[in-house]
Amino acid sequence: MSQSKMQPTRQPPSLTPAHRAILAALVATLLLTLLGTPPARAAATAADPATATDSAATSDPASVCALRGTTGWTDEGHNTDRTVFQRPKGTKKVGMIFVDFPDAPATETPATSSAQITPGADWLWNASYGKTWLDIRQHRRWVRMPHKSTDYGFERGLTHETHEAYIKDAVAAADRDVDFSGYDMVYVVATKNAPAISFTPTYVYEPGTAGVVADGRRIKWSVTFGQDMWHWGPKLVAHETAHTFGLPDLYGFDGTDAHRHVGGWDVMGLIGGAGPQYFAWHSWKLGWTTDKQVRCRASAGSDTVRLTAVEYGGGTKVAVVRTGPTTAYVVESRRQVQADTGLCATGALVYKVDSSVQTGDGPIRVMDAEPAVTPAKGCRPLDDAPYRAGESFTDAAAGVRIEVLSADGSGDTVRVTKS
Let me know whether 278 and 230 are in one domain.
no
- pLDDT level of residue 12 (50, 70, 90 thresholds): very low
pLDDT at 41: 32
Q: Output the average pLDDT for the chain.
A: 89
Structure confidence at residue 50 (pLDDT): 37
At 150-180, the pLDDT tens digits run 999 998 779 999 999 999 999 999 999 999 9
Considering the domain architecture, whether residues 195 and 328 belong to the same structural domain is answered as no
Q: Is 314 exposed, middle or buried (0-12, 13-18, 19+ CB in 10 A)?
A: middle
Residues 361 and 406 occupy one common structural domain = yes
> Which residue range is the domain that position 140 belongs to?
90-245
- pLDDT tier at 91, thresholds 50, 70, 90: very high
Q: In the chain, how many domains are there?
A: 2
What residue ranges in 205-300 does DSSP mark as E strands?
Answer: 213-214, 217-218, 221-225, 294-297
**238 and 273 fall within a common domain:** no
Q: What is the pLDDT of residues 271-305, one digit of tens each?
A: 999 999 999 999 999 999 999 999 999 999 999 99
Single pTM value for the model? 0.87
The answer to whether 142 touches 97, Cβ cutoff 8 Å, is no
Residues 69 and 120 in one domain: no
From 99-108, 131-140, 346-355, 367-376, the region with the lowest mean pLDDT: 367-376
Identity at 274, one-letter amino acid code: A
Neighbours of 332 (CB within 10 A): 29
Share of the chain above pLDDT 90, in %: 84
Residues 97 and 71 in one domain: no
In terms of domains, do 314 and 414 share one?
yes
Residue 299 placed within a domain: yes
Q: Is the pLDDT of residue 135 over 70?
A: yes
286/205 same-domain check: no
- Same domain for 272 and 371, yes or no, is yes
- Residue where one domain finishes, among candidates 245, 277, 312: 245
Asked if 141 and 56 sit in the same domain, the reply is no
> What CATH number corresponds to the domain at position 157?
3.40.390
When pLDDT is averaged across residues 362-368 and rounded to a whole number, the result is 98
Domain boundary among 190, 214, 245: 245
